[in-house]
Structure 1
């Protein structure tokens, strides 16, 4: 390397010229630590401008240690997941997204080496290789969240995930069963699991909530279920039993009256007899298992001619849609669903053509009634109202 000439002293920092003719600059931060420019400059003026920018950042308090981002993304991301205190199912999801879709590209990069063009290329390649758009959106949101924490930690100055709409999921509309189809599924699946089908649809309970429902949670007299715990099954087959995933998940669900007889019969015939016994168990007394129930569910679905894409979880979608169509408010839906998010409840507030026709009919009745009260002679047809033309 060409030798440097003696530095030119300045009020802030120092500038040196190499024998090659190019210039370099150095300065000390507020703690007295020495930093050098990461690259050389063509002129002394360019080096001075760079130092002036650094001095301004230090004065404003916006200066960032240029070495702060020299942190391996792999280690930072895994520590980020560990520090979140996530629910087991979310923890499993994040680690799977990292392992399969994020780390293969960014594992060997430092935080400050990840750029916006690099993120755009990564996302495009994910989509081009046939990975589902929903999975790519989830992966992008996770990457963005991790790097936003890096911004908050002052490890990087700006988040490189800046693609508008890239984290938005546009999942296909889930199928909705009719009431007749729900009853047909309940008949086809057999007496042991019949009530579970009804609760999935008409109480909108999640599978993991059904798996942990216990006799002590059931009020036979009032026909209510107290939901406080859940037992999601991880892909490893291990259960992650614990409180519901949010405070809103703890709720009391009032069953429609037509299910009261079904409730009493199921509790008498199939629920474990201990005060804290499980409500749903298999024929040999084993707890509800997703893998075992899946075979029974698929057979019942085939028996009634339901499409293969209709999942047990879609019963919850069916029930929430029915509630919305009966006039349930967003808040009503949130409480019954156990959701803390208005956005989740709003999914079911879409208006069908049938519902629009009903509303138009009600509006017609209201207008005709009001017109009839205000006109002599009673309920006159609306078409007979006098039209006043503008002058």
Structure 2
């Protein structure tokens, strides 16, 4: 005996719940199941049950209208077809967006981390056209103000992803409309190191790493550029560093050698005269004669020196100089500050630091190359050498 009063052997037409089209059956759970025999002579059920009988009846009425159409499809097949044509969710689109980008490994890892931690958990399941300015504002507020740089980077990433969706005509407008949200203002600006502080820092580093302080400061090198320098990149006769590559380290992975941060990072930097003797000393004592020998090598690994090793010595050295606020990256900006005081123009500084787009670098290069030796000489004069 069925719950609706019919027995197992009764024909379908005799059971309660039968209608002019389709049938509705009350389940033991109290919910209602709706189904009908389609033009293909197969029985098709609604993809879900209904709490109220009137909702089941409404679904059957809608299916009854569809059955008369020449393009009728079974409910399951139709649902799969509709889902295949829905706009992507933010999580799916962001994953494809990231795969299609030509990014440095560290940048790719940064973006993936921001997506995994802050964007996908809150907004990942939302389909792109459903992401609204209000939704973005509420999400941005939930990030909190304690880490302004991270918050700004996360917002900028979301804005960039959705900007591409606008270009690809998936959404009509970018819902990231919060003015200034992509820029973080530092609470304090680190003062460049003084010449005396630089001397103390250098003296408190192991001898094999003192040149790293010199080149980071006086040649304005990024850490990845510095740690990938090899003997063949140093031209003693011309007092030049040929910056062509950079090394990146990701947790748990071996060093990855690639191009510089941008096309403008490929540059020839004049070594200030007072730094040149330190370069010659370092090459003679710590660097094997082969052209591909690294200037700074991890003693245990034989690979590029790890940042953690550099910091293990740098942190006590900066403490000795009374500058616990100084980051390694600030040495590069200290050098830029000294170059400016020595008469370097904005174009000179951009060339020396490798800052700018490729097109801008080409505009600066012709003027800056001729002046870079003059700037290096003036920097040495400021150092008192």
Give the structure-1-normalised TM-score.
Answer: 0.67
- Matched residue, 2:62: none
| 1:168-189 CA distance string (max 9 Å, x none) | 1212423310011111111110
1:150 equivalent to 2:165? Answer yes
- Matched residue, 2:322: 305
- Matched residue, 1:39: none
Contact 1:69 1:112 in 2 (8 A): no
Q: CA deviation at 1:271?
A: 1.5
Contact 1:69 1:111 in 2 (8 A): no
- Matched residue, 2:198: 182
| 1:5-29 CA distance string (max 9 Å, x none) | xxxxxxxxxxxxxxx9xxxxxxxxx
- What secondary structure, in the 3-state scheme, does the structure 2 residue paired with 1:313 have? helix
- Matched residue, 1:323: 339
- What secondary structure, in the 3-state scheme, does the structure 2 residue paired with 1:193 have? helix
Higher-RCO chain (CA-CA 8 Å, sequence separation at least 6): 2
1:239 equivalent to 2:260? Answer no
- Matched residue, 1:358: none
Q: CA deviation at 1:258?
A: 0.6
Give the 5 Å matches for 1:200-349. Answer: 200-284=216-300, 285-307=302-324, 309-340=325-356
Contact 1:282 1:288 in 2 (8 A): yes
Give the 5 Å matches for 1:1-391. Answer: 70-127=87-144, 130=146, 132-171=147-186, 172-284=188-300, 285-307=302-324, 309-340=325-356
Q: How many residues align?
A: 281
Contact 2:220 2:336 in 1 (8 A): yes
| 1:304-354 CA distance string (max 9 Å, x none) | 3322x3111110011111111222111101110011158xxxxxxxxxxxx
Q: CA deviation at 1:69?
A: 6.2
| 1:235-290 CA distance string (max 9 Å, x none) | 44542211112111000010111111111100001123322111112445443111
| 1:94-148 CA distance string (max 9 Å, x none) | 11111111111111111111110000001111125x3x11111111111011011
Contact 2:206 2:313 in 1 (8 A): no
Partner Cα separation in structure 2 for residue 139 and residue 227 of structure 1: 31
Partner Cα separation in structure 1 for residue 203 and residue 196 of structure 2: 11
Partner Cα separation in structure 1 for residue 356 and residue 246 of structure 2: 16
Partner Cα separation in structure 1 for residue 298 and residue 100 of structure 2: 37
Contact 1:232 1:240 in 2 (8 A): yes
Contact 2:255 2:303 in 1 (8 A): no
Contact 1:230 1:244 in 2 (8 A): yes
* Superposed structure 1 runs of 4+ greater than 6 Å apart: none
- What secondary structure, in the 3-state scheme, does the structure 2 residue paired with 1:226 have? strand
Partner Cα separation in structure 1 for residue 261 and residue 148 of structure 2: 25
Partner Cα separation in structure 1 for residue 129 and residue 254 of structure 2: 38
Partner Cα separation in structure 2 for residue 210 and residue 296 of structure 1: 16
Contact 1:174 1:317 in 2 (8 A): no
Partner Cα separation in structure 2 for residue 242 and residue 273 of structure 1: 23
Contact 2:98 2:108 in 1 (8 A): yes
Contact 1:111 1:156 in 2 (8 A): yes
Partner Cα separation in structure 2 for residue 306 and residue 164 of structure 1: 35
Contact 1:226 1:253 in 2 (8 A): yes
Runs of 5+ consecutive residues of structure 2 not aligned to the other structure? 1-57, 59-70, 72-83, 361-385
Partner Cα separation in structure 1 for residue 171 and residue 321 of structure 2: 57
Contact 2:200 2:321 in 1 (8 A): yes
Partner Cα separation in structure 1 for residue 93 and residue 254 of structure 2: 27
| 1:176-213 CA distance string (max 9 Å, x none) | 10011111111110211111101111111111011110
| 1:72-94 CA distance string (max 9 Å, x none) | 11111011011011111111111
RMSD after superposition: 2.6
- What secondary structure, in the 3-state scheme, does the structure 1 residue paired with 2:328 have? coil
Contact 1:68 1:156 in 2 (8 A): no
